[in-house]
Structure 1
Amino acid sequence: ATTALRAARPEPSPSAPPPAPPNGGERAPERTSRFVPLPSDAAPGPSSPTPATEDVPEPERTRQQPLPPTGERPLELLAALTNKPAPPPTPLRALVRRVKIWTPLVALLAVVLVAAQLLRPLPEPTLELTAAGSYAFDGATPELAWPEAGQAAVDVQGIGSFGTHGEQKPVPIASVAKTMTAYLLLKAHPMEPGEDGASIPVDAKAEKEAGYSEQGESTVRVADGETITQREALDAIMIASANNVARLVARWDAGSEAAFVERMNAAAEELGMTNTTYTDPSGLRDDTVSTAEDQVKLGRAVMEFEVFRDIVDKPAYTDRNGKEHDNWNRLVPLYGTVGIKTGTTTAAGGNLLFAATADVGGTRQLIIGAVLGQHQPPIIDSVLAAGKDLIQSTQKVLTARTIVEKGAVVGVVDDGLGGRTNLVATDDVVAVGWPGQSVELKLAAGEDPVPGEADAGTEVGRLTVGEGPGRVSVPVALAEPLGEPGAAAKITRVL
C-alpha cells in the first residue's frame, strides 16, 4: 500500500523550486533530512529504511502428521495415531482379540439367561399312571337268560355291555315311550330332589281324555282349571302310565303335541338312538317304534337324574286327591329292581325298560336292560317274567377282583422338569366285571390341583376303575416327599 501511494505522488525535481503555496500563502518551511517516523499504521515506502527483519525469529509452526487412511483397521489406526506400528496380524492374535471382545458379552448374556430361567414360572405338576391301564377278567363271556322271543339288551352302567339278543329291528314300544317324555320334561325343567317342580295348569282336553280309561287307556283323573305339580305329573306318567297327563305336559312344555314329538325325535338322535321314531308323547300309537338297544341308551341317560330315580323306584304313589296308583312295573322293589317303565298294547305286546342294582365287591352296580315284543298272554306277566330272569342272570355273573393292592405304586407326580415322585394306592383297588370283560383304570387329580410341594403320605389324586355310579375309586398318596425342581433343572429346562 505504501509503495502504491508513493507511485501515485510525483517526486519533486531537484532543480525546480518548491511550489508556491496556494492563494498567495507563505511557503512551507523546508524539510530537513531528519528522519520522521511514519505513523504506526503507515507502511514504509521503497526509499525508507526497512527494519532489519532478518533478525526477527520466524514464528514457530505446529507440525501435524498426516491422518492415516480411513480404511485402516482399528488397531492399525491406533498404532498410527500413537506413532507405534501395529503388530503383524497372525491367527493367534486374531483369536485372542476375538476372545477379549466376546468373552464379556457372552458372560453377560449367560447371567441374564440364568436369571430368566430361575425366575420363569414352574410348570403345573401332573399325574401319570404307571400301572396297567386296563384289567381283563379271565374266561369266556357268559350266556345270560335271554328271552325266547322278541329282543333284549343289557348294560352294566360304567362297566360295559353284555350285548343284545334277537334282531334289533324297530318295533312298537307302547308306554315305554313315556320315558322319553319324562326325560325331556326334566331336561327343560330341572328339579332338585325333594322339590315339587313347576306348576302345570290342567286344560279341558286333559280332563276329557281322563275318561278314555273306559276305552282301555291308562289315565289319571284331572280337572280343567286346576294345577298339578311337575312331580305329580311325573308320578302319573311313570307309575300310573297316564296317557292324558303325558299329552298334557307335552302341550304345556312345547305348545303342542306335534312340537313336543319333534323334540322327542331330536333327543333320540342326540342319544344315538338311530332305530327309534316317536309319533306321540304317550306311546299309544303303533308307529312309535324303537329297539331294545336304543331304549337302553335312553335308560342310561334318564337314570342320571336323581329325581327320576326317586320316582321310578316306588311301587305306588298317592295323587293330590288321595287316590293310590300302583306301579305297572311290579318288579319294583323285588330282585333289586329300581325302575323304569312297562308298556303293553295288543300290537306291541309286552315291553319293559328296567333298571336293577347288584352289590358286588363292596360296590353297588346299576344294570340297565330292555325286553321288547313279548306276545305270550298275559303280555304284562310275560314281559315281567322275562325281565326278572334277565336281571337275576346278570347279577349272578358279575364278579369282583382285587387288581391293585394297598401300598402298590400305581403312578407318579411329574413336575414337568424331569422330577418324578411315586404314588401309591391307599387301599385295595377292586374291579367289577364278568368273565371276558375288560375294565379301564384312570388316574386323575382330586378336587384340588396337584401341589408343587407336599409331605409323604399326602393324597393328591384318585385311581378309578369303571365309570358311573358303580365305579371304584381309591385315593392315591405320595410315597415320598414332593419338592420343587432344583436350580439345575430350572436352568437347563428347554420349554
Structure 2
Amino acid sequence: MTAPDTLGDFADLLNDAPGAPRSDGRAGRIALLVFLGVVLATLAAAGGYVWWASAASLPAPTVVAQAPGVAPGPAAAVSMPGTGQSVLAVSGGEGFLNTDGNGVLAASGDGSALPMASITKLITALVVLDAHPLDSATDPGPTIAFTEADTDLYDQFYVRGAVISRMPDGLRLSLHDSLATMLLPSSANYAVAVARWGFGSEDAFVRAARSWLSANGLENTRIVDATGIDDRNTSTAGDLLTLGRLAAANPTIAALADTRSVRVDGAGTVTNTNGLLGTLGISGLKTGNLGDGTFNLLFTSTLDVGIGSPLQIVGVRLGGETHDSTDADVVRMLQTLKDGFHDLPVGTVGDEIGEITTAWGSQAALVLSRGATLRTWSDTPVSVVLDTSPPQTYTEGEVVGRLTWTAGERSATSDVKISGAIDEPSLWWRLTHPGELG
C-alpha cells in the first residue's frame, strides 16, 4: 500500500482499513479534521500553561524572626545629702525620670523649716520688684537716692560681721544696680536700704513680704527682716523650690543670679558668692549661710544629659555643714543625675535575628544592617518592635524590615536585610506546583 498523498487519500485508507465502517469520503474527511483540531487544542493548552506557570507570581516567603530582647542598663539614683533638707526638681526627661506632681525627682530630710540666711534677700528682691517692676532684664528702672540713714547701715552691719558693700554719701543708683549689689555679694546694707526705699521702712517691707509669701503659696516661710541675718527667717525645701521657680521666671533676677561679677558705680566691683556658676549648667540662684551648720544654696541648672533638650532643674540644699561641703553636695546631686544617663548598646551589625524561607526550599538569614545604641536613664525598660515586608528582588542585602528599640522618649533603629542568596524556583517546580502560584 502506498502512502496517502492527500487528506482524501488518508480518509480512504481509514475507510479501507479492515473492520472499518464504510463511509463516504466526505465523512472521513470531517472525522480527520475533528481529530486534528483536538490534538492542536491540546497542544495549545499545554503551551499556555507552561507560559502561565513560568510567569506567575510566587508565594510569599515565610519569615521567621524574633525581635531580641534588650536588658536595661544598671540602676541609678540621685545621691542626696544625709543631713539637713534637700530637694531636686526636674523639668524634661519625662519618659525617663519618675517625678511627682511637683516635678520632684529626689528629696531628703524631714521637711522641717530651717533658717534661710541670705536666701531671704531673694525674697526681698522679688517683693520689691513686685511693687516696682522692671520692663526687662537690662532695664535700669528708677533711681534710688540713698539717704544718710542708708549710709549708716554700712557701720551697723560691719560690727555684726555681715557682708556689706560700699555706699558713699549721696550715692544714687538705679534699682537694677542696687539689686545687683544686694544679690551678688549678698550685701546686708543694700538689702535694708532697698527695702526701705521700696516700702518706706523695713517694718513695712516685712508686712508686704508676708502678704506676698501668702499670695504665692509659701505658707511655711517666715520673714522677720530683709537680710536673713536673723535666724527666724526660715523656710522649708518645698517652699524654697517654689521660690526658686518664681525667681527663675523673673528676667531681672535670673540674669543677675547668673552674673559672676559686675562693676557698680560707688559700690565698686561686686562678685557673686555662688562659686558653682557654670558647673554642671548651674545658673543661679542664691547662697545663704549663718555658719554653724547653716549653709544653704538655692540653685537652678540647665543640665545637658545627651537626650536632646537639656533638663531644667531647680534644687535646694538647706543645712549644709560648710560652704565647701554644701557645694560638694549640690555637685554630687547633679553629677549622679547626669551619670545615670548612659548609652546602651542594643544591636550589632550582622546580628542574626531570623531567617527567610521560600516554598521551593531556598532560604537565607535575616541580619541587622547596622549597630545601634540607645541613650537612656538608669534601668529604664527597652521595648523592641520588628516590622517585616516581603522581598521584591530576593537578593542578598535587600532590606526586608526594620527593628526599632525605644526607651523613654528615645528610639534607635536598624534595617533588617537578607544575608545570603535566595535561589529562583526551577521551571519544573513551577509546573508541578500550580496551586502555590498567583
TM bucket (normalised to shorter chain) is 0.5 to 0.7
2:179 paired with 1:245: no
Paired position in structure 2 for 1:181: 124
Deviation track 1:24-60 (CA, whole Å, cap 9, x = no partner) reads: xxxxxxxxxxxxxxxxxxxxxxxxxxxxxxxxxxxxx
The CA distance in 1 between the partners of 2:299 and 2:221, in whole Å, is 18
The CA distance in 2 between the partners of 1:247 and 1:432, in whole Å, is 48
Paired position in structure 1 for 2:310: 364
Unaligned runs of 5+ in 2: 1-71, 95-102, 345-374, 382-408, 410-438
**CA separation of 1:398 and 1:370: change in aligned 2, threshold 3 A:** farther
The CA distance in 1 between the partners of 2:277 and 2:232, in whole Å, is 29
Paired position in structure 2 for 1:155: 89
Q: 1:275·1:290 contact (CA, 8 Å) conserved in 2?
A: yes
Amino acid at match of 2:265: R
Q: 1:355·1:367 contact (CA, 8 Å) conserved in 2?
A: yes
Q: 1:356·1:367 contact (CA, 8 Å) conserved in 2?
A: yes
Paired position in structure 2 for 1:204: 148
Paired position in structure 1 for 2:173: 228
Paired position in structure 2 for 1:391: 334
The CA distance in 2 between the partners of 1:304 and 1:194, in whole Å, is 15
Q: CA deviation at 1:314?
A: 1.4
The structure 2 residue matched to 1:381, chosen from 307, 324, 327, is 324
Q: CA deviation at 1:352?
A: 0.7
2:309 paired with 1:353: no
Q: Match of 1:363, SS?
A: coil
Q: CA deviation at 1:145?
A: 1.3
Q: CA deviation at 1:368?
A: 0.6
C-alpha RMSD of the superposition = 3.0
Amino acid at match of 1:143: A
Paired position in structure 2 for 1:48: none
Q: 2:121·2:228 contact (CA, 8 Å) conserved in 1?
A: yes
The CA distance in 2 between the partners of 1:433 and 1:205, in whole Å, is 56
The CA distance in 1 between the partners of 2:197 and 2:377, in whole Å, is 43
Q: 2:296·2:320 contact (CA, 8 Å) conserved in 1?
A: yes
Paired position in structure 1 for 2:431: none
Q: 2:89·2:105 contact (CA, 8 Å) conserved in 1?
A: yes
Unaligned runs of 5+ in 1: 1-137, 402-430, 438-470, 472-495
**CA separation of 1:287 and 1:361: change in aligned 2, threshold 3 A:** same
Q: Aligned runs of 1:116-195 on 2, under 5 Å?
A: 142-157=76-91, 160-191=103-134, 192-195=136-139
The CA distance in 1 between the partners of 2:280 and 2:151, in whole Å, is 37
The CA distance in 2 between the partners of 1:432 and 1:206, in whole Å, is 55
Q: Aligned runs of 1:196-345 on 2, under 5 Å?
A: 196-211=140-155, 212-321=157-266, 323-345=268-290
Q: CA deviation at 1:140?
A: 11
Amino acid at match of 1:206: D
Q: Match of 1:308, SS?
A: helix
Q: CA deviation at 1:395?
A: 3.2
Deviation track 1:198-249 (CA, whole Å, cap 9, x = no partner) reads: 2112122221111233531111111343211111111112111011111111
Q: Match of 1:303, SS?
A: helix
**CA separation of 1:321 and 1:286: change in aligned 2, threshold 3 A:** same
Q: 1:169·1:275 contact (CA, 8 Å) conserved in 2?
A: no
**CA separation of 1:400 and 1:365: change in aligned 2, threshold 3 A:** farther
Q: 1:150·1:374 contact (CA, 8 Å) conserved in 2?
A: yes
The CA distance in 2 between the partners of 1:261 and 1:291, in whole Å, is 19
Deviation track 1:415-439 (CA, whole Å, cap 9, x = no partner) reads: xxxxxxxxxxxxxxxx9988789xx
The CA distance in 1 between the partners of 2:167 and 2:303, in whole Å, is 38
Amino acid at match of 2:296: N
Amino acid at match of 1:361: I
Tell me: higher relative CO, structure 1 or 2? Use CA pairs within 8 A at least 6 residues apart.
2
The CA distance in 2 between the partners of 1:142 and 1:161, in whole Å, is 16
The CA distance in 1 between the partners of 2:138 and 2:182, in whole Å, is 18
Q: CA deviation at 1:397?
A: 3.7
Q: Match of 1:216, SS?
A: coil
Deviation track 1:389-410 (CA, whole Å, cap 9, x = no partner) reads: 1122233346899xxxxxxxxx
Q: Match of 2:194, SS?
A: helix
Deviation track 1:266-320 (CA, whole Å, cap 9, x = no partner) reads: 2222332222111111101011111112111100111011222211111222221
Q: Aligned runs of 1:27-106 on 2, under 5 Å?
A: none
Deviation track 1:145-192 (CA, whole Å, cap 9, x = no partner) reads: 111211101111466211421111111111011111111222222221
Amino acid at match of 1:203: T
Q: TM-score, with normalisation over the residues of structure 1?
A: 0.50
**CA separation of 1:435 and 1:251: change in aligned 2, threshold 3 A:** farther
**CA separation of 1:196 and 1:400: change in aligned 2, threshold 3 A:** farther
How many residues align? The count is 271
Q: CA deviation at 1:348?
A: 6.0
Amino acid at match of 2:79: A
Q: CA deviation at 1:372?
A: 0.6
Q: CA deviation at 1:263?
A: 2.0
Q: TM-score, with normalisation over the residues of structure 2?
A: 0.56
Deviation track 1:353-389 (CA, whole Å, cap 9, x = no partner) reads: 01111124221332110101113xxx21121111121
Q: 1:164·1:293 contact (CA, 8 Å) conserved in 2?
A: no
Q: 2:287·2:297 contact (CA, 8 Å) conserved in 1?
A: yes
**CA separation of 1:204 and 1:394: change in aligned 2, threshold 3 A:** farther
The CA distance in 1 between the partners of 2:257 and 2:208, in whole Å, is 23
The CA distance in 1 between the partners of 2:380 and 2:85, in whole Å, is 23
Amino acid at match of 2:127: L
